Chain A
Amino acid sequence: MINKIMTADEAVAGVKDGMTIMVGGFLATGSPEVLMDALVRKGVKHLTVIANDGGLDAGQPAGEFAAKTARGVGKLLEHHMVDHIIASHLGVNPKLNEQFAEGTLRYTLVPQGTLAEKIRAAAYGLGGVLTPTGVGTPMETELDELGRKKKVVEIEGKKYLLEMPLRADYSFIRPSVADKFGNYYCAKATKNFNYVMAGAADKTIIAPEKIVEIGEIDPDIFAVAGVLVDAIVEGEKPWQI
Chain B
Amino acid sequence: MADLKARIAKRCAKEFKDGDFANLGIGLPTMVADYIPEDIMVTLHSENGFAGIDAVADASNVDVDIINSGGVYVTALPRVKYFDTAESFGLVRGGHVAATVLGAMEVAENGDLANWIVPGKKVAGMGGAMDLVTGARKVIITMMHTQKGAHKILKKCTLPLTAEKCVDLIITEMGVMEVREDGIWVTELHPDYTKEDIQAATGCELHFDPNMKAMEEE
Interface residues on B, range: 35 or more
Question: What's the Cα separation between A187 and B76 when bound, in Å?
Answer: 13
A191 touches B126 (CB 8 A): no
| Chain B, interface SS category | loop
Of B65, B69, B117, B123, the contact of A96 (CB 8 Å cutoff): B123
B126 surroundings in chain A (CB, below 8 A): 88-89, 109, 111-112
A131 surroundings in chain B (CB, below 8 A): 93
Q: A189-B50, A191-B49 are in contact. Are A196 and B71 (CB under 8 A)?
A: no
Confirm or deny: A241 has a beta carbon within 8 angstroms of a beta carbon on chain B.
yes
- Considering only residues 62-81 of chain B, those with a C-beta below 8 Å from chain A are 62-73, 76
- Considering only residues 122-142 of chain B, those with a C-beta below 8 Å from chain A are 122-131, 134-135
Question: What's the Cα separation between A188 and B54 when bound, in Å?
Answer: 14
The 3 A-B pairs with the shortest beta carbon distances in the complex, nearest first, are: A113-B89, A91-B124, A63-B72
List chain B positions with a Cβ less than 8 A from chain A.
46-50, 56-58, 62-73, 76, 82-86, 88-90, 92-93, 112, 117, 122-131, 134-135, 160-164
Q: Which residue of A lies closest to B86 (CB)?
A: A116
Q: A65-B62, A113-B93, A188-B76 are in contact. Are A195 and B67 (CB under 8 A)?
A: no
Which residue, of A111, A117, A136, has the highest number of chain B Cβ atoms within 10 A?
Answer: A111
Q: A113-B93, A120-B86, A192-B85 are in contact. Are A137 and B122 (CB under 8 A)?
A: no
A195 touches B50 (CB 8 A): no
Question: What's the Cα separation between A139 and B83 when bound, in Å?
Answer: 26
Smallest CB separation, A159 vs chain B (Å): 9
Question: What are 28 inter-chain pairs, A to B, with CB distance below 8 A?
Answer: A26-B67, A53-B125, A56-B71, A62-B73, A63-B56, A63-B72, A89-B124, A89-B125, A91-B123, A91-B124, A107-B123, A109-B125, A111-B127, A112-B131, A113-B90, A117-B86, A131-B93, A133-B130, A137-B161, A138-B117, A188-B49, A188-B65, A189-B65, A191-B83, A192-B49, A192-B85, A238-B64, A241-B62
Contact flags A113-145 to B (C-beta < 8 A → 1, else 0): 111110010000000000111111111000000
Question: What's the Cα separation between A203 and B88 when bound, in Å?
Answer: 26
B160 touches A133 (CB 8 A): no
Confirm or deny: A48 has a beta carbon within 8 angstroms of a beta carbon on chain B.
no
Confirm or deny: A194 has a beta carbon within 8 angstroms of a beta carbon on chain B.
yes
> Can you add 16 more A-B contacts, CB < 8 Å, to A29-B64, A192-B84?
A29-B48, A63-B73, A90-B124, A91-B122, A92-B71, A96-B123, A100-B123, A109-B123, A111-B128, A112-B128, A113-B86, A113-B128, A188-B50, A189-B48, A193-B84, A241-B64
